[in-house]
Structure formats: C-alpha cells, structure tokens
C-alpha cells in the first residue's frame, strides 16, 4: 500500500494522506482499522462522518468533544476542522474521484480535511475550509488537493460546466472537461493563501487503475481513505 502525502504535512508533526487501492476498499471503519493500526493510530480515536456532497464542516477543539462525538451515530457533513487540534485524535474521509482537501497550520496546532466533490467545489468548500482555519489560528497555513479525477478524464455536460468559472473549463473536440485543481486554486487566491504553500496532486484517479479506485471508471462503490491524525 502507498500513502500519498505532501512532506509539509509530516513536517508539521501530523500523520495523514490518501491511501492507494492496494489496501482494498476502505469505506467501512472496520476496514480502515487494518490500515490505521500498523501506523500507530488507534482506530477508536478516528472520527467518521456521512458524506453528502455538501459544504458542511464539523468543528472540534477538545478531546472531550471528540470523545462525545465518537459515541454518536454518523453526522451528515463533508469536512472536519480541528482547531486547536487535540492530541491523540484524528478524522477520515473517503473518495473515489472527488478531491481530498487537506489544510494544516505550520506547527500542526490546527488542521482541516474536507471531501470536495465537484458539487463541493462549486459550493466553495475548499475556500470555506481554509477560512475556517484562518479564523482559528495566526499560524501560516498549508494545503494540499490530493489525488482526484483530472482534466484528462473529467468530462461534463454543459449544465455542470456552467457552474464553474470559465477559465476552469477545457474544450476538446466539442467536449467539455473541468479542471478541479484550477477551480480550487481560484478559491485559494480568494482566501489570500500564499500559493507556494499550496500543493496539488496531478495523479488521476480515473487514469491510474493500479493505484486508485474510480467511480467514473469502474462504477463500483470502492473507496480510498484519506485521513489526518495528531499524535
């Protein structure tokens, strides 16, 4: 199994990234535990949500909040904000073409992780994720858009394309393709992020069958795990 992660995330003292398909589909918490335990991450300290392609973020600032939430049924939402991030807790999202969007403070004192499908990007979830951390810390922020479907494969119809900024749409032989990285970059600029601290994966989940599951390619509900944990 590979874990795709930017070095700056690890340098902040956090453990996280996106797991390759070699670990199998990691939709369920029990399956995720097989991956997390060998990394020294206690699965019972990882929070889960029910993703609904929204712009809803859940916020936590203490271990007590995390513990209380972990004993409740999954909540509908699409992202996490841990600020200040309690030690010994983390959270997960799952994707299969959507963008796993990671944000963290330089010293690891705060972090956020969101599931940005194309609907989430249209609803400005990357921007809202950044702004949620900006409101909680003065530390320099870093971000990473993890592996997702790229412009080579993300063909859309006009009714979807018209919801994106024109400069993020690519036309090829009368077909329309969306550049999700470009759409996210525009939102980072709106948030006044310094782009040298913003990283983008150009691994295509749809093209790279060896490393990734893809809903667009396979039409099966196999899922990739993305996570952040503060040891």
For each of the domains in the chain, give its residue range(s) and CATH number, in order of start. Answer: 3-151+180-230 (3.60.140.10)
d(CA 9, CA 102): 9
Query: Tokens 């952040």 belong to which residue?
Result: 228
Asked whether the beta carbons of 145 and 186 are under 8 A apart, the reply is no
Residue 226 has which token pair?
Answer: 């993305």
Give kind and range of the element (H or E) at residue 4.
Answer: strand 3-4
* Mean pLDDT of the chain, nearest integer: 97
Give residues with Cβ within 8 angstroms of 72, minimum separation 6: none
Q: Count other C-beta atoms under 10 Å from residue 34's C-beta.
A: 13
The per-residue pLDDT for 206 is 98
Asked whether the beta carbons of 68 and 58 are under 8 A apart, the reply is no
Query: Tokens 């070095």 belong to which residue?
Result: 7
Strands 15-19 and 224-230: antiparallel
Asked whether the beta carbons of 81 and 134 are under 8 A apart, the reply is no
The per-residue pLDDT for 123 is 98
**What mean pLDDT comes out for the span 133-144?**
97
CA distances from 195 to 32, 131, 141, 180, 229 (A): 32, 15, 10, 16, 24
Q: In this predicted model, what pLDDT tens digit does every residue of 169-226 receive, in sequence order?
A: 999 999 999 999 999 999 999 999 999 999 999 999 999 999 999 999 999 999 999 9
The per-residue pLDDT for 100 is 98
d(CA 179, CA 136): 30
Q: In this predicted model, what pLDDT tens digit does every residue of 34-89 receive, in sequence order?
A: 999 999 999 999 999 999 999 999 999 999 999 999 999 999 999 999 999 999 99
The per-residue pLDDT for 202 is 97
Residue 74 has which token pair?
Answer: 């999954």
Peptide bond preceding 84 in cis form (omega within 30 of 0): yes
- Percent of the chain exceeding pLDDT 70 equals 100
The per-residue pLDDT for 158 is 97
């Amino acid at each position: 199994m590979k874990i795709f992660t930017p070095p700056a995330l690890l340098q902040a003292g956090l453990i996280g990234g996106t797991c390759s398909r070699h670990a199998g589909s990691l939709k369920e918490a029990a399956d995720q535990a097989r991956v997390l335990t060998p990394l020294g991450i206690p699965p019972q300290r990882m929070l889960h949500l029910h993703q609904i392609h929204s712009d809803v973020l859940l916020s936590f600032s203490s271990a007590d909040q995390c513990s209380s939430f972990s004993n409740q049924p999954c909540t509908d939402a699409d992202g996490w904000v841990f600020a200040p991030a309690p030690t010994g807790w983390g959270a997960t999202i799952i994707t299969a073409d959507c963008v796993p969007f990671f944000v963290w403070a330089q010293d690891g004192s705060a972090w956020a992780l969101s599931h940005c499908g194309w609907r989430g990007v249209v609803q400005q979830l990357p921007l809202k994720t950044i702004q949620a951390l900006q409101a909680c810390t003065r530390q320099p922020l870093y971000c990473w858009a993890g592996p997702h479907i790229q412009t080579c494969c993300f063909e859309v119809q006009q009714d979807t394309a018209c919801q994106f900024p024109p400069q993020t749409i690519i036309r090829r032989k009368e077909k329309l393709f969306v550049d999700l990285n470009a759409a996210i970059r525009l939102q980072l600029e709106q948030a006044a992020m310094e782009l040298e601290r913003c990283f983008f994966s150009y691994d295509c989940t749809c093209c790279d069958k060896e490393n990734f599951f893809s809903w667009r390619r396979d039409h099966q509900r196999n899922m990739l795990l993305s996570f952040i944990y503060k040891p």
